[in-house]
Amino acid sequence: MDKRILVVGATGMLGEPVARHLKGDGFQVRILARDRNKASKVFDESYEIVDGDVMDEGSLEKSLDGCFGVHINLSGEIEQVGVETVVSVAPRKGVERITYISGTSVFEENTWFPQTKRKFLAEKTIRESGIPYSIFCPTWFMESLPKYVREGRAFVFGKQPNLYHFVAADDYARMVSTSYRLDNAVNKRFFIHGPEGMLFHDALRQYCKEFHPEIKKISTMPYWVANIIARIKGSKEMKFASEFMAFFEKVGEGGDPAEANRILGAPEITLDMWIKQRRDRM
């Protein structure tokens, strides 16, 4: 049997493909699940599902038994504390490798943005743990595009003049899995950029052409309008999305993907390819 990897956040949009690539590459994959029923609907019996909570050291103790590595896929306000909890338990369980998803814009000068600050501090905790690590800093995911289509409209917050190298979750997941087999992937911070740079409006237009042909125009919503609508509707999701895009419009896409491409193999899935794959799965 090959080495066992615990995946934290495996039922999420970006955690699930990592778990599947690890399994496909011959690793034993253990899923940490707060909701076993939900996890069982996503993963079959070839995956080991364990009950637990990333915020609970006791359940992490049991979940990390016999694990070579742990992949951390968290977001939101629990992210930093969740990483700190995993890192506090991992050394005494003999964990030999940590992988973690951060972001392309995570630099100290950008920590004025709360999500970036959480990721920056989470990275610091991992680096100081003494456990060999690979930290992944991807740009925008193609899988995020459907979130910007609502109620028959496609919209982008702000002008978004920057080019983004959208990456497919499948390419990112392959790179994470590959890192567990390479000694030269240890103690690295990998920037993950897709194969082509695009404006957000153009990427969303390309997505809508295939999946929402009735939408002929991509709307540009000013941030102040988005904030008013979010406040009226009580939509935390819209408020965060608006703030997140405002942040990216200001700081752009950071990092150099050359080292990640050389060591792990460059992402190959273009937006056209991703759209076709998504259509074929429907």
Q: Tell me how many domains the chain contains.
A: 1
In a domain, 276, yes or no: no
Domain that holds residue 31: 4-131
Band of residue 62 on the pLDDT scale cut at 50, 70, 90: very high
* Among candidate residues 113, 117, 107, 180, the one with its CA nearest the CA of residue 137: 107
* Among candidate residues 63, 54, 101, 102, the one with its CA nearest the CA of residue 82: 54
- Looking at residue 94, its amino acid is G
Instruction: State residue 236's pLDDT score.
Output: 84
Cα separation of 175 and 190, whole Å?
10
Question: What's the mean per-residue pLDDT of the chain?
Answer: 94
Kindly report, residue by residue over 19-45, the tens digit of the pLDDT: 999 999 999 999 999 888 899 999 999
In a domain, 171, yes or no: no
Instruction: State residue 233's pLDDT score.
Output: 85
Contacts with 28 (C-beta within 8 Å, 6 or more apart), sequence order: 1, 2, 3, 4, 5, 48
Kindly report, residue by residue over 92-131, the tens digit of the pLDDT: 999 999 999 999 999 999 999 999 999 999 999 999 999 9
Range with the poorest average pLDDT among 68-72, 74-78, 83-87, 264-268: 74-78
In a domain, 67, yes or no: yes
In a domain, 69, yes or no: yes
In a domain, 80, yes or no: yes
In a domain, 62, yes or no: yes
Kindly report, residue by residue over 261-281, the tens digit of the pLDDT: 999 999 999 999 999 999 998
Instruction: State residue 60's pLDDT score.
Output: 93
Rounded to 5°, the CA angle 156-138-37 comes to 85
pTM, 2 dp:
0.95
Question: Measuring CA to CA, how many Å separate 271 from each of 129, 142, 200?
Answer: 37, 7, 12
> Which CATH number do you get for residue 119?
3.40.50.720
pLDDT beyond 60 at 241: yes
> What DSSP string describes 239-276?
HHHHHHHHHHHHH---S-THHHIIIII-----HHHHHH
Helix, strand or coil for residue 196? coil
In a domain, 54, yes or no: yes
In a domain, 226, yes or no: no
Instruction: State residue 238's pLDDT score.
Output: 85
